[in-house]
Structure 1
Amino acid sequence: MTPAYTPTLTRRHMVAGAAAAGAVLALPSSAMAQAKTPIVGPLAPNPAEFKKTMERFIGSATPLTEGLHLDLPVLADNPSAVPVKVKVTLPITEQEWCEEIIVLADLNPSPLACRVLLTVDTGAAEAAVRVRLTQSQTIHALARMKSGKVLVAKQAVTVAASGCGM
C-alpha cells in the first residue's frame, strides 16, 4: 500500500493564504528564492545585505531610539523559533501612525526576518513573530512613521545552538 500524499506548506502558499485573508505579508526575495532552490554551501552572515537593508529603510532620516519597544529573550533556548515582539509606544493618531515595521537579524544569511505594513486603520503598531537565528547576534527593529520619523531599537540575544541549516 502506498502512503497517502501530504502537501507541504511552502512560503509561496503562506503568502497566497495571507493575501486571500486580506493581510499583507512580505517576504524578502531571497526567501522566495530559497523556496525554489536548495541551499548550497555554508550559511554565512551577510553584513553587506544587512547594511544595505538598514540604509534603504532609514534613508535620509535621523533614527530615534525612543518610541519603539523591542522584547525578546536574552537567552534563546530554541534558535529555530525565537519570539520577538515590537511595539511603537508613541501615540497613534490619524495624522501620525506607523506605516512599516521591520525586524533584522544582523548575522543571519538573509538579515530581513520580518516586514509588516500598517495603515491608519490598524489602530496599534505592534508585531509578534518568531525568528530563526544562525548564531548569537543582535536583533534590530525599525519602524517608519507617517511623518518620516524612523524609530530604532536593538537587543543582543544568545542562542543555545544553531537554528539554521539543521
Structure 2
Amino acid sequence: MQRRTLIASALALPATSALARQAAAPADPLAPNPAELRRAMEAFTQGRTPLTEGLELQVPALADNPGAVPLKVRVGLPITDEDWCEEIIVLAERNPSPLACRLRFTPAAGAAEAAVRVRLAQSQTVHALARMKSGTLLAASQAVTVAASGCGM
C-alpha cells in the first residue's frame, strides 16, 4: 500500500520540474566547471587575498596515472597553541567537481601536512588553500600535465 502511494506521488510531479532538472544539469558531466571553482575559492577565502608564501604544494609535473596523482601539501608556518592551520583544501581547476580534497586540523596535530592521491580530468593547475586560526590565508598552485583523461575512466 505504501509503495503504491510513493509511485503515485512520483508520477504526480509536474513535467516542468523534470525539465528544470535537465536544464540545470551541465551538458557534459565531465566538462570543467569554472563556476564551481570560483564558488569554492570565494567560499574559502571570503573575499580576502591569500599570501603566496607559507604553503608548499608538491605535485609531479607529469601525471602518468591521472586516476591517482600523488600530491603533498604542507604549511610551513609555525604551529602553536594560539595559531594553527584549521583547514586546507585542494582544488583541481579543470575537473568537473573542482574540490579534490578537504583536510581539517587541530592544534594537537603538531603539523599541518598531508600526502594524498587525487584524480585529474586533464592537464590543469592544482590549487591549495590553507586557513590559519588567526584568519591568515595561504595559497599555492602548480601546473600538472596529464598523460590521459582521469575522470572519464
Gaps of 5+ in 2: 1-26
1:163 to 141, 150, 153: 150
What secondary structure sits across from 2:71 in the alignment?
A: strand
User: TM-score, normalized by length of structure 1?
Assistant: 0.74
- Would you identify which runs of 4 or more consecutive aligned residues in structure 1 move more than 2 Å? none
TM-score normalised over the length of structure 2: 0.81
Give the CA deviation at 1:61: 2.4
In the other structure, the counterpart of 2:125 is 138
Look up the match of 1:3: none
Q: Does 1:122 align with 2:104?
A: no
Q: Deviations over 1:44-94 (max 9, x none)?
A: 000000000001100132210000000010000100000010000001111
**How far did residue 42 of structure 1 move?**
4.3
Q: Give the Cα separation in 1 of the matches to 2:142 and 2:93.
A: 11
Q: Matches of 1:91 and 1:63 in 2, distance apart?
A: 17
**Unmatched runs of 5 consecutive residues or more in structure 1:** 1-39
Are residues 1:43 and 2:30 paired?
yes
| Equivalent-residue separation in structure 1 for 2:47 and 2:96 (angstroms) | 26
Give the percent of matched residue pairs that are identical in Structure 1 and Structure 2. Answer: 72
User: SS at the partner of 2:40?
Assistant: helix
Of 46, 65, 70, the match for 1:83: 70
* Secondary structure of 2:44 counterpart: helix
Distance 2:31 2:39 in 1: 17
Cα RMSD (Å): 1.1
How far off its partner does 1:159 sit? Answer: 0.5
